[in-house]
């Protein structure tokens, strides 16, 4: 059996993702594995690239929507990384742009990860049909095992 040394944990900074990070940290701690946190920004399809928004910018001017998303993601990843490092887990962060399911599957295949741990919201019916499921696509197409973690009921 192959040992698990590298765990990929996609996040969208939701409560469900935070729970998945907690589960992954427990696994990493018991297995002596490292964690790569991965956020994928999916650009809105109806907003043209380079759209300027009015956000305070120390250098003057405005930030593009992509720049603002990247800045917020970097802050969220740094916070999650610090939490995991306090638990004694070697942690790396990654940013991607594109379709989240595709980017996660590509990284899981190319990054030599033995496991993916990710949140699922458990949508069903029309929301599932319209929005699809990133977790479902990753489970179906990833080349390594995928553990899906459901957010605990409130």
Q: Which residues of the chain have pLDDT under 50?
A: 126-131
Half-sphere CA count of 48, side-chain side, radius 13 A:
3
What is the pLDDT at residue 130? 43
92: helix, coil or strand?
strand
Tokens describing residue 40 = 């994928």
Percent of the chain with pLDDT over 70: 80
SS3 content of the chain, % helix, strand, coil (to 5): 40, 25, 35
- 38 sits in which H/E element: strand 34-41
What domains are there in the chain, each with its CATH number?
6-150 (3.40.50.620)
What is the pLDDT at residue 68? 81
What is the pLDDT at residue 99? 92
What is the pLDDT at residue 81? 97
57: helix, coil or strand?
coil
Helix axes of 65-86 and 15-31: crossing angle, nearest 10 degrees: 40
């Amino acid at each position: 059996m192959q040992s698990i040394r590298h765990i990929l944990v996609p996040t969208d900074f939701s409560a469900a993702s935070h729970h998945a990070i907690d589960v992954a940290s427990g696994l990493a701690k018991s297995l002596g594995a490292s964690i790569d946190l991965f956020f994928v920004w999916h650009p809105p399809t109806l907003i043209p690239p380079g759209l300027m928004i009015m956000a305070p910018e120390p250098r003057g001017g405005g930030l593009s929507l992509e720049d603002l998303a990247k800045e917020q993601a970097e802050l969220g990843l740094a916070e999650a990384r610090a939490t995991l490092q306090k638990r004694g887990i070697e942690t790396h962060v990654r940013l991607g742009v594109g379709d989240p399911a595709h980017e996660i599957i590509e990284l899981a295949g190319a990054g030599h990860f033995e496991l993916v741990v990710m949140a699922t919201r458990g949508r069903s019916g029309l929301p599932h049909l319209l929005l699809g499921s990133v977790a479902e696509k990753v489970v179906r197409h990833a080349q390594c095992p995928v553990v899906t973690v459901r957010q605990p009921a409130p």
